Amino acid sequence: MKNSYQQLTTNLEYLQLKQMSQHLGEVVDFSINNQLSFVEALVNLTNYGIDTREQNMIHSMVKMGAFPHRKEVDQFDFEFQPSVNKQQILDFISLRFLEAQENIVFLGPSGVGKAHLATSIGIAAAKKRTSTYFIKC
């Protein structure tokens, strides 16, 4: 006969709540050591499941975007390319242009970072659950 802890682990696995099942012991120990209420313990446990689903969703959205590489704006060398307006790029990363229903076009010679910046903006959009698809012309 299973004890309550084993039954809970089995139930979580049956419900396909793998992350919650894997972190159950950790949450129980933390809750006991910090005298958390039952509800607080459940919140901590469900946060593991939510965090994992969010990370999986972001990974899927970025993968579906077909980006040539995974580069983000913090990896861009603005000092190497001083003609790029950093504040404007950071504004693009905020995705405000989407709300305004505006388009962005990067023009310039090869090797100046157009694909890097476009990828950065696309990944930022994917992280916010906006459908993206990278097309290099």
Contact 101, 34 (CB under 8 A): no
Tokens of 49: 């499941």
What per-residue confidence (pLDDT) applies to 95?
A: 96
Tokens of 101: 């229903």
Q: What pTM value is reported for the model?
A: 0.71
Domain locations in the chain as residue ranges: 4-64, 73-127
**CA separation, residue 111 to residues 26, 53, 92, 114, 121 (Å):** 48, 36, 20, 8, 18
Ranges of residues in the chain whose predicted pLDDT is under 50: none
Tokens of 52: 């994992």
What per-residue confidence (pLDDT) applies to 111?
A: 86
Average model confidence (pLDDT) across the chain: 91
pLDDT in tens, 29-58: 999 999 999 999 999 999 988 999 999 999
What per-residue confidence (pLDDT) applies to 1?
A: 61
Question: What DSSP element (H or E) covers 60?
Answer: helix 38-64
What per-residue confidence (pLDDT) applies to 40?
A: 94
